[in-house]
Amino acid sequence: MINTKVSLRYLCMMFESTSDRLTGAARISKGRRTRRCFYVTIGAMMAKAQQRAELLEGRPVADAIKKEVAAEVSRLREQHGVVTRLAAVLVGDDAASAVYVRNKVRACAEVGIESDKIDLSASTTTEELLAVVRRLNADDNVDGILVQLPLPKQIDDSVIIEAIDPAKDVDAFHPTNVGYLAMGRPRFVPCTPAGIIELLDRNQIEIAGANACVVGRSQIVGRPIASLLLQRHATVTICHSKTRDLPAVTREADILIAAIGRPAFIRGNFIKPGATVIDVGVNQVTRVEGAREFFGFDADKRIEAIEKRGYTLVGDVHPAEADLIAGRRTPVPGGVGLLTVAMLMKNSLQAAKWRRGL
Ligand code: NDP
């Protein structure tokens, strides 16, 4: 039922995009010839409806980056006696944050980076967290400092971000690193945007000259990815909640980046046929009907996940519809998130080298 709905929606969209062709055909043809032409066109569209966007998997690219980092971490240790070390601070008991920090600590172990995980209670004050950050700044054995966001609401996160030594700021949220990036002279680059560029580059997706559209203007994703794309000579449009006629703007994009935080918000009619769609969003779907609508042919696995653990994940892009229109898209999970962690490893390595002038 849902599959039929998706196919019909796709056909309607195809009709819109091919309406000129059809109108032209109808004008020059009459009777049976028109009907035959119509059925041939429908047949071609049905065949195309079976096609799916190529999946830009994060795993192979993340693995390649981690392999390169591991080799360099080991070279630093052997040739310079440098032990690369990341300190990860987790405040409170947010379940998603705990998973993110656990994955980052696990990745450190994979690439040979030492890690210290510092757990602080949910009632930690700004002053208490500041004291921890200052201690890590002063510790010469620590190369990178990561304070997992979001922080409990009693903590002023900008005070904490600005207290981190910019030379150890592996998340690249400190105003000094944000400023360097905005000037086109990046030092540390935030991990998710840096990972997206790696994903595009290592899949030979041309950035220079492309129309790139970023939906979302956060400090963490939207703004820095727009800066990076601009530096790589894309023509960049940044959209947000006040953008007028969003689908008309996003439909111009050869590279569409969705960093919104709204489940399956980017529908098929937002996407230019053949575009590369990078889905940054991570949203939980807890309803079986939601899974059926978003995942189309792939819904069964997702419904199973909901039944087993209470949720499945969807990005900001409607996967079933994007599959029918986009040329390539990143999956959620298994796309951008894996690159975020890999780039944190790369930034930690850079921190160890830059601090020592290596
Ligand atoms: P924020 O909430 O900070 O920003 C969301 C942005 O989306 C804002 O700029 C907002 O516009 C815009 N927006 C919201 N609603 C609309 C709308 N209806 N139309 C157009 N724009 C809209 O989110 P983040 O950038 O921090 O994160 C975005 C998503 O990416 C989240 O799902 C998050 O979980 C995920 N994420 C994933 C990571 C990964 O590694 N995979 C890493 C970081 C984030 P405005 O500014 O006008 O309010």
CA 130 to chain centre: 30
Atom 41 of ligand 1, residue of closest alpha carbon: 337
| 154 catalytic residue (yes or no) | no
Residue 37 has pLDDT above 80, yes or no: no
Percentage of the chain modeled with pLDDT above 90: 85
Q: Alpha-carbon distance 236 to 254, whole Å?
A: 10
Ligand 1 neighbour 332 (Cβ under 6 A) = no
pLDDT tens digits along 122-143: 999 999 999 999 999 999 999 9
**pLDDT value of position 300:** 96
> What are the structure tokens assigned to 306, written together?
């909901």
pLDDT of res. 36: 46
Return the pLDDT at 136: 98
Ligand 1 pocket member 260 (CB < 6 A)? yes
Q: Is 189 in the pocket of ligand 1 (CB under 6 A)?
A: no
Ligand 1 centroid vs 239 CA: distance in angstroms?
A: 11
Report the pLDDT averaged over residues 212-235. Answer: 98
Grade residue 314 by pLDDT with cuts at 50, 70 and 90.
very high
Neighbour order of strands in the sheet with 54-55:
54-55, 328-329, 276-279, 255-258, 211-215, 235-239
The 3-state secondary structure of 139-174, one letter per residue: CCCCCEEEECCCCCCCCCHHHHHHHCCHHHCCCCCC
How confident is the model at residue 43, as a pLDDT? 42
Candidate list 66, 104, 272, 346, residue with the active-site label: 104
Task: Say how many residues make up the chain.
Answer: 358
C-beta of 149 in contact with ligand 1 (< 6 A)? no
Q: How confident is the model at residue 49 (pLDDT cuts 50, 70, 90)?
A: low
**271 near 326, Cβ under 8 Å?**
yes
Ligand 1 pocket test: which of 157, 238, 240, 278 has the largest number of ligand atoms within 8 Å of its C-beta?
Answer: 240
Nearest to 313 by CA among 326, 330, 195: 330
Q: Is 218 in the pocket of ligand 1 (CB under 6 A)?
A: yes
Ligand 1 contacts CB of residue 225 (under 6 A): no
Q: Cα(189)–Cα(168) distance, rounded to whole angstroms? A: 12
Q: Are residues 117 and 144 in contact, defined by beta-carbon separation less than 8 angstroms?
A: no
308 pLDDT above the threshold of 90: yes
Residues 119/356, Cβ–Cβ less than 8 Å: no
For ligand 1, atom 6, name the residue with the nearest CA: 216
In DSSP terms, 119 is beta-bridged to 90
Closest atom of ligand 1 to 195 CA is 40
150 phi and psi angles, rounded to 5 deg: -80, 155
> pLDDT tens digits, residue range 237-251?
999 999 999 999 999
List, for residues 74-98, the tens digit of each pLDDT value: 999 999 999 999 999 999 999 999 9
Whether residue 316 lies in the annotated active site: no
Please pick, among 143, 148, 168, 350, the residue that the annotation labels catalytic. 148
| Tokens (6 digits) for 150 | 């979001």
Task: Report strand pairing: 85-91 vs 114-120.
Answer: parallel
Residue 29 scores a pLDDT above 50: no
User: What is the pLDDT at residue 46?
Assistant: 46
Give the number of other CB atoms < 10 A from CB of residue 34: 15
Cβ atoms of residues 185 and 210 within 8 Å: no
CA-nearest residue for atom 47, ligand 1, is 241
Angle between helices 31-49 and 2-28 (to 10 degrees): 140
Ligand 1 pocket, 278 CB below 6 A? no
Strands 312-314, 283-285: pairing is: antiparallel
Q: Which residues contact 322 (CB under 8 A, 6 or more apart)?
A: 53, 266, 268, 271, 277, 279, 329
Find out whether the beta carbon of 340 lies less than 6 Å from any atom of ligand 1: yes
What domains does the chain contain, in order, with CATH numbers? 2-46 (no CATH), 186-341 (3.40.50.720)
Strand, helix or coil for residue 69: helix
pLDDT at position 7 = 44
What's the pLDDT score for residue 298? 86
DSSP states of 83-128 as a string? Answer: --EEEEEEES--HHHHHHHHHHHHHHHHHT-EEEEEEE-TT--HHH
Instruction: Identify whether the C-beta of residue 89 lies closer than 8 Å to the C-beta of residue 131.
Output: no
Q: Say whether pTM exceeds 0.85.
A: yes
The pLDDT assigned to 297 comes to: 83
Determine whether the shortest distance from the Cβ of 216 to ligand 1 is under 6 A: yes
Judge whether 171 counts as a catalytic residue: yes
> Looking at residue 266, what DSSP letter applies?
B
- Rounded CA gap, 196 and 201, in Å? 9
Query: How far, in Å, from the CA of 307 to the mean position of ligand 1?
Result: 28
pLDDT in tens, 143-197: 999 999 999 999 999 999 999 999 999 999 999 999 999 999 999 999 999 999 9
Expressed in angstroms and rounded, the spacing between residue 178 Cα and the centre of ligand 1 is 18
Distance 124 CA to ligand 1 centre (A): 27
- Per-residue pLDDT band for 51 (boundaries 50, 70, 90) equals low
Model confidence pLDDT, tens digit, residues 263-298: 999 999 999 999 999 999 999 999 999 999 999 888
* Rounded distance between C-alpha atoms, residue 172 and residue 228, angstroms: 13
Q: Is 227 close to ligand 1, i.e. is its CB under 6 Å away?
A: no
Strands 144-147 and 85-91, sheet pairing: parallel
DSSP 8-state symbol, 308: H
Q: How confident is the model at residue 67 (pLDDT cuts 50, 70, 90)?
A: very high
Ligand 1 pocket mutation, candidates 97, 101, 218, criterion most atoms within 8 A of CB: 218
